[in-house]
Amino acid sequence: MLGKSIRIYLKEGNVTGIKFAELVNQTIQALSCPRNKLPDLNNYFNKETNTQGVYFLFGHEEDNLKPKVYIGEAENVWERLKNHDVKKDFWSEVIIFTSKDDNLTKSHIKYLESRLIDITKEAERYDLENGNSPNLSSLPLPDKDAMEEFLSNIKLLTGTLGHKFLENPISIKNISSKNISLTATTKSNDIIDTSGNLELYLDIKNIKAKAIQTNEGIVVLEKSSVANNATKNYGYGTLREKLISEKIISKEKKGGFVFAKNHLFSSVSAAAAVILGYSVNGRNVWKNKKGKTIKEIEEIEIK
């Protein structure tokens, strides 16, 4: 895969203000703006906002594990944002995507909106604020391919601007949960795909879990088991309870707890502690198929 060059302009000279981002040699352009700076956005970037495009409203509720996002499209993004500023309370930041050549049509942006909603649902990183999913508009094949490329560029720019909600936590898609073995029994290579993601296992006192190490952390896979009882007042107790309340960890009929879906942890220790019910150094308990811990693997790789 070829590298990408992204140019970002900070209008106010700091990372919390208005940002203009573009991919070098591409027509796509993005604007990121905190809600309280919305009037300045239109003053400084009138042409880029008073046109057709797609946009994302981002927010976060304190009692929710995940951030929220609302995905929309408009033939005049600025007019739509003025409406959302009055009627929607949850959001604190907006990111707008438009085209420098103004070649996006209503059918194009409707297609993008539908695909973006589907991708967000599949990734399950953010809670989706949209009430319904619009039907995918029909496009000629050349236009469809062009919009899929536009989507890829939206993913790159939103991630660069701090929101990775369009990225699948696991780069290997369609992993069948029915075929997941929670015990390292094979003698095959330690990596499971060409991206270098590493299969990891945790097996302590009949608690068996499987995970995949990625660039962002560790993804604990569906059907991994979780200890029934956690020690009191340990560091990850609140996170564990959150995952149970949001049904990411669920209770089976026979009484045990398991992961009901794949879940990304930024820390291997957090993942291990949630699973085992007590604080532990994840680098010492997660192992590859050959029985080497993460600590041992890292030491070998560094040497």
pLDDT of residue 170: 67
Any domain includes 218: yes
Residue 121 resides in a domain? yes
Q: Which pLDDT does position 1 carry in this prediction?
A: 73
Q: Is the pLDDT of residue 173 over 60?
A: no
pTM of the model: 0.77
Is the Cβ–Cβ distance between 38 and 81 less than 8 Å?
A: yes
Burial class (CB in 10 A: 0-12, 13-18, 19+), 79: exposed
* 90 Cβ contact partners less than 8 Å away, ≥ 6 residues apart: 57, 59, 61, 68, 70, 129
Residues of the chain above pLDDT 70, percent: 90
Q: Are residues 155 and 205 in the same domain?
A: no
The answer to whether residues 153 and 277 belong to one domain is: no
CA-CA distance, 70 to 86, in Å (whole number)?
Answer: 15
* Tally of domains in the chain: 2
Residue 165 lies in a domain: no
Q: Is 70 exceeded by the pLDDT of residue 190? A: no
- Which tens digit of pLDDT belongs to each residue from 242-298? 999 989 999 987 878 999 999 999 899 999 999 999 999 999 999 999 999 999 988
Question: Of the candidates 245, 233, 246, which has an alpha carbon nearest to the alpha carbon of residue 273?
Answer: 233
**What is the predicted pLDDT for the residue at 71?**
98
pLDDT of residue 60: 86
- pLDDT for 174 equals 40
Q: Is residue 194 part of a domain?
A: yes
Q: How many CA atoms lie within 13 A of 21 on its CB side?
A: 24
At residue 196, the pLDDT reads 61
Judge whether 1 lies within some domain. Answer: no
CB 225 within 8 A of CB 181: no
Q: What SS3 class is residue 213?
A: strand
* Residue 168 within a domain: no
Q: Output phi, psi for 222, to 5 deg.
A: -50, 145
Asked if residue 152 and residue 11 are part of one domain, the reply reads: yes
Give tens-digit pLDDT for 53-97. 999 999 987 667 789 999 999 999 999 999 999 999 999 999 999
Going by C-alpha positions, the residue among 232, 243, 289, 287 that lies closest to residue 265 is 243
Structural domain span for residue 59: 6-160
Question: Could you tell me the two tokens for 303?
Answer: 């040497």
Packed helices 237-245 and 268-276: angle between N→C axes, nearest 10 degrees: 70
Rounded Cα gap, residues 44 and 111, in angstroms: 29
pLDDT band at 235 (very low <50, low <70, confident <90, very high): confident
Report whether pLDDT(185) > 80: no
98 and 11 share one domain: yes
Q: What is the pLDDT of residues 92-151, one digit of tens each?
A: 999 999 999 988 999 999 999 999 999 999 988 999 999 888 888 899 999 999 999 999
Greater confidence (218 vs 189) lies with 218
The per-residue pLDDT for 131 is 85
| 43-47, 136-140, 210-214, 298-302, range with the lowest pLDDT | 298-302
224 located within any domain: yes
- Give dist(CA 157, CA 28) in Å, integer: 9
User: What value does the mean pLDDT take over residues 190-216?
Assistant: 79
Do 21 and 105 lie in one domain? The reply is yes
Contacts with 174 (C-beta within 8 Å, 6 or more apart), sequence order: none
* pLDDT of res. 57: 97
Question: What is the per-residue pLDDT for 150?
Answer: 97
Say if CB 194 and CB 249 are below 8 A apart. Answer: no
In a shared domain, residues 204 and 99: no
